[in-house]
Each structure stands twice: as C-alpha cells, then as structure tokens.
C-alpha cells in the first residue's frame, strides 16, 4: 500500500538539530544502498541519548521508591496500633478507592500532578501516623491508611505514566526495566522494616521521606495528558519541548509531522532524497 508524503524544505524549519539528523539519515540510507534499516532496540537505547536518559533515570528512581513504600507499608501494618488483622484488611481494601481515584485524576488533572500528589500524600500519611498520641489509635490507623491509599494510587498511575513517557520502539523495554527497578524497592522494604528494632517509628519515617522525595522528583517530568505518544527516540530528543519552539515554527506543525515521516527509520528511502521538492514522494 502506498501513501504520499509531500516533500518539504527541511532546512528552513529553524531546527538545526533536526536538520542535521535528517542529513545523517539521508547519508546513512545512501550508504546502505537503498535497503531499509531495522534494528532491535535494547536497554542501552534508554540511556544513550540525553533527554530520554533523564526521563528513564527519573522513572527508575520513582519506581524503586514507590515499590519500596507500597510493600513496606503493606508488610508493616502489624506495627500500627489496634488489631493487626483488621489493619491488614484495611490496608488491602483501601486500594479499591485508590485505583478508582487514579483513573479519575489522570484524565482530569494530568499524569504528572496526579502521580506526584499521590506520592506526597503517601509520604505525609506515613510520617504523621507515627506522631499521633497512643490514646488515639483510630486516628493513627486512619492516617496510615490514607498513606497506603496514596502509594497504591501512585503504584497504578506509574504504569500509565511510564508507558506514555517512552517512545514506541523502547516502550516495552523501558517498562520492563522500570518494573525491575521496582522489584529492587520491594526487596529493600523488609530490610527497612527491621530498623524498627532501633526505633519503632523509623521505618515509616523512611517510607514517608522516600515517597515525598519521589513526588517532588516526578514534577520534573513532562505531562503526557492529551499528547500523542512518541514513536521514535528522535521524536523525544528533537520535538520534546514544544513550548520552546518559536511561533513561526509552531505554525509549521504540519511540516514538522512530515519531517518525522521523512526521517523515520522505516520510511526514509534514499531513492527519493534527490527528488524535486515540487513533487510528492511515494513511500512503500
């Protein structure tokens, strides 16, 4: 099946990085003799380029933090005041409203704010529940459950946010790597719980501080609400900061999409590189 993409003047788009990338891709195609280049992406591609590398480091850190807090609070409910069986039951049941809330908030307020808010609520709940007087056990349990609700919401929201932050070519690789880092956090959780032998509130204080730090770190990530998913690493690197593009270039959004089509590893064909700009190139 053929589709027509109009040739455009890449060099007048005032995007020197993208123009340079276009030239390199053209040269690579010509050296390859017209054959399409298809490569398997690996974990190294997640950290090869600067913008994607910063995103992935942020993702790995907050996945580790969220998983540690989630499993740590779940395993540490017996240290709360009151009946430990009832506490464990409550820690599980609060995940239902947390999941429903995450579905509502991500579409209404965006991914970044929602995930950050869940983490900060979890951190505040974990810290505050340790400073409630012992004669108010119900209040201490209620605040701890608010913290568990926050980290449960963050846990499910992180899956949505992570997949939207990563380009298609490395999306499954990145999500798998983030999940692996999350398992590191779940491994650390029981060891943090052992610190209660030194000071009983210490594990919850560590969980709270970690959750708040993760929530603040998440604010550095761009929001993906209502935005098209990136397909290639090049889209992440060259077209990420749309707000910094000048108004003139913003008006050429249609041309920018055509540039992406031209520079796509799957679609660029060197036999059309020297075609007349007034004609249309047909891609297979």
Residue closest to 167 by CA, chosen among 32, 260, 96: 260
Most confident option among 39-48, 128-137, 163-172, 231-240? 163-172
In sequence order, the β-bridge partners of residue 5 are 281
Q: Is the pLDDT of residue 271 over 60?
A: no
Question: Which pair of structure tokens corresponds to residue 38?
Answer: 């298809």
Summarize the confidence of residues 215-226 as an average pLDDT. 92
Question: What local confidence, expressed as pLDDT, does residue 282 receive?
Answer: 36
Q: Is the pLDDT of residue 44 over 70?
A: yes
- The model's pTM is 0.70
Distance CA(258)–CA(8), nearest Å, equals 8
Q: Is the pLDDT of residue 94 over 90?
A: yes
Q: Is the pLDDT of residue 60 over 50?
A: yes
pLDDT band at 232 (very low <50, low <70, confident <90, very high): confident
Q: Is the pLDDT of residue 256 over 80?
A: no
Torsion 55-60-65-70 (CA) sign = positive
Q: Is the pLDDT of residue 280 over 90?
A: no
Q: Is the pLDDT of residue 171 over 60?
A: yes
Q: Residues of 5-20 as b/e, b for ≥16 C-beta within 10 angstroms?
A: bebbebeebebeebbe
Question: What local confidence, expressed as pLDDT, does residue 124 receive?
Answer: 95
Torsion 268-272-275-280 (CA) sign = negative
Q: Is the pLDDT of residue 262 over 90?
A: no
Longest dimension (CA), the chain: 82
Question: What local confidence, expressed as pLDDT, does residue 55 receive?
Answer: 93
pLDDT band at 244 (very low <50, low <70, confident <90, very high): very low
Q: Is the pLDDT of residue 272 over 80?
A: no
- Between 106 and 270, whose confidence is greater? 106
């Amino acid at each position: 099946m053929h589709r027509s993409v109009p040739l455009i003047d890449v060099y007048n788009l005032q995007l020197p990085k993208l123009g340079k990338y276009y030239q390199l891709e053209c040269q690579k195609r010509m050296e390859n003799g017209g054959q399409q280049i298809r490569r398997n992406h690996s974990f190294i591609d997640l950290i090869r380029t600067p913008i994607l590398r910063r995103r992935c480091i942020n993702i790995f850190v907050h996945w580790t933090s969220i998983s540690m807090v989630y499993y740590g609070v779940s395993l540490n409910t017996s240290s709360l005041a009151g009946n430990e069986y009832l506490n464990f039951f409550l820690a599980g049941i609060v995940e239902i409203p947390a999941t429903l809330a995450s579905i509502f908030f991500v579409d209404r307020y965006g991914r970044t704010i929602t995930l950050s808010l869940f983490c900060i609520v979890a951190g505040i709940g974990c810290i505050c529940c340790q400073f409630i007087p012992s004669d108010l056990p119900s209040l201490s349990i209620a605040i701890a459950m608010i913290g568990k609700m926050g980290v449960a919401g963050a846990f499910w929201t992180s899956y949505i946010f992570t997949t939207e932050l990563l380009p298609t070519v490395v999306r499954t690789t990145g999500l798998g790597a983030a999940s692996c880092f999350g398992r590191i956090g779940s491994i650390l959780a029981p060891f943090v719980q052992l610190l209660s032998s030194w000071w009983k509130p210490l594990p919850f204080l560590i969980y709270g501080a970690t959750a708040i730090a993760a929530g603040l770190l998440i604010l550095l990530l761009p929001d993906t609400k209502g935005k098209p998913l990136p397909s290639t690493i090049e889209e992440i690197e060259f077209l990420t900061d749309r707000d910094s593009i000048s108004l003139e270039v913003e008006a050429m959004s249609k041309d920018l999409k055509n540039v992406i089509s031209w520079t796509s590893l799957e679609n660029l064909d060197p036999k059309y590189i020297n075609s007349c700009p007034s004609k249309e190139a047909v891609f297979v």
